[in-house]
Every structure is written in structure tokens, then in C-alpha cells.
Structure 1
Amino acid sequence: MATPYPTLSANVDQFIYCLEVVPDLEKVETTPVVQILEDIALKQNVSSIYKTCDTIEGLQESLDALLYDDHNFEDYEIIYLVFPGEANSILINGYYYSIEEIAELFEGKMEGKIIHFANKKTLDLTDEESQYFLDITGARAISGYGALSESMTSAYTIDRVFFSLFYENDDLREVVERMFYKHYDLCKLLDFRLYY
């Protein structure tokens, strides 16, 4: 029986660092994102580190822990951000932070990484905003979705496809072409976007 998502060879280490905003860290609960990441690890052989935050300081602490305490940081090619928000901002604990503020928080720390936003927020950047983000952070690309869907989260569907295709072939242009070729309707529905 064929699996619906590409499976990777077991001897290749693939990593995603996922950071999700939650309403309150004191209320420990398993979010659907955790279950999806576990499923991706089992079915697609892509391991992940998952952290939560509920403040901008928590975001900074999680980022610093990843950079300075995790000796496998270079193995994380995808930084997966599950944050609510709007076109060019994220929402944490009732406060909006612009993509420029997030770029400054990540300044020089994301060299060669793919920063991918789940569709809990729209990603709608001008050329100047995307270039600023890439220049300041050192990231290789920033990706996400132009459309929100109340009935569908990208984590269940197209995010996992994007992660698998990227780890099969790190040529971003080819990855996007394959995504649209294999999952055109879904890519159009959620308005997949990649800035590089």
C-alpha cells in the first residue's frame, strides 16, 4: 500500500524546529501540531523539536536555547512557526509584532534556514519586506500561505508535503514546482507563497 506522503530513507537525519504560540504555558495540553509532528516523524522520517511560547520573551528564549544550547542546530534546515497573525505580523499574547520586528529578533541567526509559517496567519509580504527579512536574518527563504481556512490547517496537509519534498530535493524552485504539480488545488486554495 502506498503512503500518501514521500517517505525518506531511515539513515538520513532530517530535522524541523517547531515553535508554536499557545495562550498559556501553564496549561499543558497536546496541540494538534504535536500529533502531526509525531506522525511526520513516523511516516516520513523527519524528526522535530517542538517548543511553545506565550510571550515575545518566550520566543526569544526558545530561539536562544536552540542557537546556543542545541549542538544539532545546523541540522535544522526548517524553522516551522505556528503563530496566529495577519499579513505581515504575528500575534503573541494580545500583541502584534511586525515581520520587521521578528527579523530583528532573528538577526543573523537563521543563516541558510527556511522559515515556514503555518496557515494560522497569512503571509503577504512586499518585495521590500521579504528582502529585508532575508537580509537581516540570513534565512534562505521565508514561506507560508496567503489564505486562512477555518476548515483546514496547513499542518495536516500541505506543510508535511513541503517538508518531505524539501528534504528530497533542496532546490526550492523544483520543490515549489512539484508541490503545485502534485497538489495544485491545495496550493491554490491556501495560496502557498515562498520568498527567497
Structure 2
Amino acid sequence: MENEKLIFCLEAIPDVDCTSPTEVVKILEDIALKQGVTSIYKACDSIEGLEESLGILLYEDHNFKDYEIIYLVMPGEPNTIRLNDYYYSIEEIAELFEGKMKGKIIHFANEKILDLTDEESQYFLDVTGARAISGYGSDLSEISSASTIDRVFFSLYQENDDLKEVVEELFQKHYSLCKLLDFRLYY
């Protein structure tokens, strides 16, 4: 696909030396096979691992411009991520990504609540250069967004660059699930 929008997934796991594929890896493989959406997956277990993975993506991957979605599968409290039992705020994440996400969509799986004020979302977008930030306002952990709504979001975005139209179609096709998980897009 000539205009393919690749996904770069960073997943927080307890130990990067564990070689067992996670549920997220299996889902990304399934999305690639069934929906033709290509992704690169990296696991991290510390903020240093997150920074290293980001550095490799930015400075060594010649296809970086093709990664339009940065998919973060990381637990945490509202507006934070947890790595190695340390919590990092959305502001700290923005500073980590400072100026490096120009035109990208930063999408959080529903392992943490994303509930930003207008000021917080604008700060994140301004500092990172990201086009949008999205995630979920519900802490309903019984339903994995990775296996449900995220795959639909990624697929719809492959077909349409207009985020507002993508979100409208997502709600039209999966209204109950979008409401249940409280899908949010800040742009």
C-alpha cells in the first residue's frame, strides 16, 4: 500500500528479557494479517527503555515519517504511565517526546485513563508537535481496547486522513463500545 500509515507500538512489560509474546504482539500480528496494517513493536520495562526505543525509532529507522500512530500500551493512573513501578505524568511524557512527534497521533490503549483538560491536551500537543492524542476515559480493564476498538481505529485511519471523520465513523459503527470505554480524541 503506497500511502500506508504504519504503527509504532511501545508496550510496558515487567521484564524485557521475557521472550513470550504478549497479547498485544498477537493482536498486532492479527491486524497485519487480516487488515493489512503494518506495525513495529517494542517492549520496555523502564523509562530508559522507552527513551532508547524512541531514540532508535527517531534516529535509526529511515521509515520514521511513515509511522503516523505511536501506540502506547502502558498501565498507569489517570494521565500517567507506570514503568518499573514508577509513575510518569502526561507532562513528563510530553517532555520526553519534546518536538519529536510532529504530525503523529499518540494513542493510549485503555490500560490507563486519559482525561485531559483543554490546557493539558494543548500543552502535550504543543510540546510534542503531535497532531493528536487519543485514549480512553474508562478504567474498564475487563475489555482490552487493543483487541477491540483500537484495531478498528487503526483500520479506519488507514482509509481516511481526516481524524474527525474517522472518529465519527468509529462512533457510528461501534457506538456502544466507544461509549463504554469512553474513547477520547484531543487535537
Bin for the TM-score computed over the shorter chain? over 0.9
Query: Could you tell me which residue of structure 2 aligns to residue 135 of structure 1?
Result: 126
Query: Could you tell me which residue of structure 2 aligns to residue 172 of structure 1?
Result: 163
Query: Could you tell me which residue of structure 2 aligns to residue 66 of structure 1?
Result: 57
Percent of residue pairs identical: 73
SS at match of 2:122: helix
1:18 Cα deviation from its structure 2 partner:
0.2
- Amino acid paired to 2:79: N
Query: Could you tell me which residue of structure 1 aligns to residue 113 of structure 2?
Result: 122
How many residue pairs get aligned? The number is 187
1:12 Cα deviation from its structure 2 partner:
4.7
1:14–1:45 CA contact under 8 A, matched in 2: no
Does 2:32 correspond to 1:41? yes
SS at match of 2:40: strand
Match of 1:162 among 150, 153, 169: 153
- Amino acid paired to 2:23: P
2:138–2:181 CA contact under 8 A, matched in 1: yes
Q: CA RMSD in A?
A: 0.9
Query: Could you tell me which residue of structure 2 aligns to residue 144 of structure 1?
Result: 135
Deviations 1:64-92 (A, max 9, x none): 00000000000000000000012111111
1:150 Cα deviation from its structure 2 partner:
2.8
Query: Could you tell me which residue of structure 2 aligns to residue 85 of structure 1?
Result: 76
- Amino acid paired to 1:160: R
Structure 2 distance, partners of 1:160, 1:150, is: 17
- Amino acid paired to 2:184: R
Query: Could you tell me which residue of structure 2 aligns to residue 4 of structure 1?
Result: none
SS at match of 1:78: strand
Between 59-68 and 24-33, report the one with greater CA deviation. 24-33
1:170 Cα deviation from its structure 2 partner:
1.0
Query: Taking structure 2 as the reference length, what is the TM-score of the superposition?
Result: 0.98
CA distance 1:11–1:74, shift in 2 (3 Å): closer
Structure 2 distance, partners of 1:19, 1:148, is: 20
Match of 1:109 among 85, 100, 111: 100
Query: Could you tell me which residue of structure 1 aligns to residue 20 of structure 2?
Result: 29
Structure 2 residue runs without a partner (length 5+): none
Deviations 1:88-130 (A, max 9, x none): 1111100100000000000000000000000011101111110
Structure 2 distance, partners of 1:87, 1:187, is: 18
